[in-house]
Chain A
Amino acid sequence: MKHVGAIPVEKAGNMRHTTEKNNLSENQSMEQGALLARPFAVVGRRTINWVNTLGAAAIFLVLAVLMIFRPKQWVKIIEQIYYIGARSTTIIMLVALFTGMVLGLQSYHALSQFGTVGAVGTLVALSLIRELGPVLTAIMITARAGSAITAEIGIQRISEQIDALDTMRIDPLRYLISPRIAASIISFPFLTALFDLVGIIGGFISGVMLMGANAGTFFYRIQASVDMKDVTDGFIKSMVFAVIVATVCCFQGYFVHMRTDSRGAKSVGLSTTAAVVTSCALILVADYVVTSLLI
């Protein structure tokens, strides 16, 4: 009998066969294990990415807010207030008018079934001041100014304009981001107040002028049911939304070059979409959280 070292060949062959079999089954079980672990790995990776992004956005926001108070910022903040705030008034008024009119119409029909048409003013005013005003204003500004902010900053990033600021010793966060965040925090409450006012006028037009509810009762019920806390809560919400919208839109534009799914103009397009979608979703989530804290 031939020997391989001290082990007979036959036995060695059997051992090799057994080892191969063991290795095969080990590989198979490892593959199965990897297959089972894959969903967890995907979830884990995404969670880590999400937490990283959240952390980066938080640092981004804090640094930008700190730089609001640096010199030479006021002119830029006023320019941004004009762009984000003043130039959004038309669309805000239009949306507010028709939102108020729909509210007036629906509440008139609903309340007339219970004989409480006099409460139209209450329903319209509270809905607008507590919820619809801040939320719809934030969503409209996201669509109008937020998307433009992402696209503008994104293009500045891919065309090296932000790098150029760095080389000129101009902090891009101070120059580009801080004024936009400050302008948003200032503009959102004003636009929300405008939305509330025009919305109530819309409710008056449909509920009183078109459907025939009593004008005196309409305003009396508003005065009686709306207190200062409703108004301040609405403003607090609008400021929270301002921080969310400005941060998300600026962050998406500023880090457009870090996207791994696309490059160039396409990445700016995708970042703009992501900014709008994320802002809108976060507005609704934050609305619930803030409402539950304030109520």
Chain B
Amino acid sequence: METPLIEFKNVTKRFGQLTVLDQADAKIYEGEITTIIGLSGSGKSVFLKHIIGLLNPEDGAVLFRGKPLDEMKKKERDASLAQISYMFQDNALFDSMTIYENVALPLRETTNLSKAEIDRRVMTRIEQMELSEAAFKYPSELSGGMQKRAALARALVTDPRIVLFDEPTTGQDPVRENAILSMVAENRKKFDFTAVLVSHAIPEVYFISNRILALYDRKIVFQGSPEEFENFDHPLKNEIRNSLEELQEKLSGLYAKRQFKVRYHTELQSGALQETYAVLVFTLKDMDTFVSKLGHEAIQKILYSMGSFIDKHFSAVGGFSARFGADEFVTALPYSDVKEAGAILDSFVEDFQGWGSRNILSWDGTEEAPHVYPEFVVLAGIAEGKPIERMGDVIEFARKQQKEICRLRCRATGVDR
């Protein structure tokens, strides 16, 4: 069995009379995104600070690659902890230093690299985080999202194997929250680090995480995949679910995945409405490419708009929709068969193109210099479902039927809206 990268064994932490962690057990595996969720004040940040050694447990042990940190010699412990970077909730950038100086700080102070090499590494990270123009500005001169990117650049400049993110989305609006999480996921892929996130229950966390740890009443009450978490029956789940669904609706007006499933089961699989129904799956093709060209925030705005438009269009004919993945939306049409759904989709495409040209997108070839701006390809697939069929199978079939329904080109000014 794979040895966890980090393991908590019966960790107890007290602050005076207050017990924050009580015999908490947890496992974090290499190369994954692990998200620690829990209610406000449940000790998520305390948990994270034990990993980097800012706090030490009263009882129990924190193991790094199977070895307790407190049993390691100082040199070994320092070497282990040096592989970890920490991104603070409020970024903790030095406000009297420029972004360049902030990013260069760990290299200047902890390595003997030459000035030229430090400069090269720092500028590489700054460019990767799309902060070249802000390199010599102070943190107070940057937007919240840029400050987050600067903090991430500082965290990544030492090439850590593990990056801890303490509430990276706090204080951001839903679009930016998703943009930051999308940035975390993209950079994890790019730089191949293990990410541990502390986050409030927001939809995107479930899309990007490989593993969820749920902290409740001073203990880790759940550890497993996001899919397993869906079947986890616990009071924490209800509280998190409520906030999740509220945020999901706030984000795009779409149903949360759970709400979608409930309605699907009660209306479509009971056979109460019709003998057949239709399911449509929409995908924004090659989202990662657009992220690298336009940035996370612009993509999240586009997805937000697209989701809202899908929901608005299909709810008019009795349908309901949900976001199933970072780039995927699923719509159920309870009163339509495949033929009708095809006609509705045609009218959707027409409306979507018209709406796109008026709002965030413009048509291929109608704008000047079409090669400059990235092209969005929207795929859609239709499947017919029967009450006896499983929802997952119908959706999977619709995925397989996907074909291009429209091609849109981004207009620079539009994306900024």
Contact = CB atoms under 8 A, between A and B. Distances in A.
Contacts of A156: 94
B90 interface: yes
A92 to B, nearest CB: 24
Interface string B82-104: 10111011101111100000000
Interface in A111-160: 152, 156, 159-160
Contact of B54 (A72, A159, A161, A163): A163
A159 B82 contact: no
Interface in A67-106: 72
Contact of B90 (A160, A170, A175): A160
A167 B78 CA distance: 11
Nearest to A166: B54
A170 B92 contact: no
Contact of B92 (A152, A163, A169, A175): A163
B171 interface: no
A110 interface: no
Contacts of B54: 163, 166-167
Contacts of B89: 160
A168 B109 contact: yes
A215 interface: no
B109 A164 contact: no
B391 to A, nearest CB: 44
A160 B54 CA distance: 12
Chain B interface residue bracket vs A: 20 to 34
Contacts of A169: 78, 81-82, 106, 110
A164 B88 contact: yes
A176 to B, nearest CB: 11
A72 B115 CA distance: 13
B92 to A, nearest CB: 4
A164 B84 CA distance: 12
Contacts of B105: 168, 170
B180 interface: no
A161 B89 CA distance: 11
A156 B95 CA distance: 9
Contacts of B94: 156, 161, 164
Nearest to B81: A169
A163 B45 CA distance: 13
Interface in A44-62: none
A159 B110 contact: no
Given A161-B94, A163-B54, A170 B109 contact: yes
Nearest to B88: A160
A164 B105 CA distance: 11
Contacts of A160: 88-90, 92
A124 to B, nearest CB: 41
Contacts of A161: 92-94
Nearest to A162: B92
A170 B88 contact: no
Contact of A168 (B78, B95, B106): B106
B86 A164 contact: yes
B52 interface: yes
B106 A159 contact: no
Contacts of A163: 54, 88, 92
A162 to B, nearest CB: 9
Given A72-B109, A168-B109, A175-B109, A159 B90 contact: yes
Nearest to A156: B94
A168 B90 contact: no
Contacts of A72: 108-109
Nearest to B85: A167
A212 B154 CA distance: 66
Contact of B110 (A152, A164, A166, A170): A170
A25 B146 CA distance: 71
A11 B57 CA distance: 59
Nearest to B89: A160
A167 B52 contact: yes
Interface in B103-159: 105-106, 108-110, 154, 158
A161 B96 CA distance: 11
A45 to B, nearest CB: 16
20 contacts: A72-B108, A159-B95, A160-B89, A160-B92, A161-B92, A161-B93, A161-B94, A163-B92, A164-B86, A164-B94, A166-B54, A167-B54, A169-B78, A169-B81, A169-B106, A169-B110, A170-B105, A170-B106, A170-B110, A175-B109
Given A152-B96, A159-B95, A164-B92, 13 more contacts: A72-B108, A156-B94, A159-B92, A160-B92, A161-B94, A164-B86, A164-B94, A167-B52, A168-B85, A168-B110, A169-B81, A170-B106, A175-B109
Interface of A: 72, 152, 156, 159-161, 163-164, 166-170, 175
The 3 closest A-B pairs by CB, nearest first: A164-B92, A167-B86, A160-B92
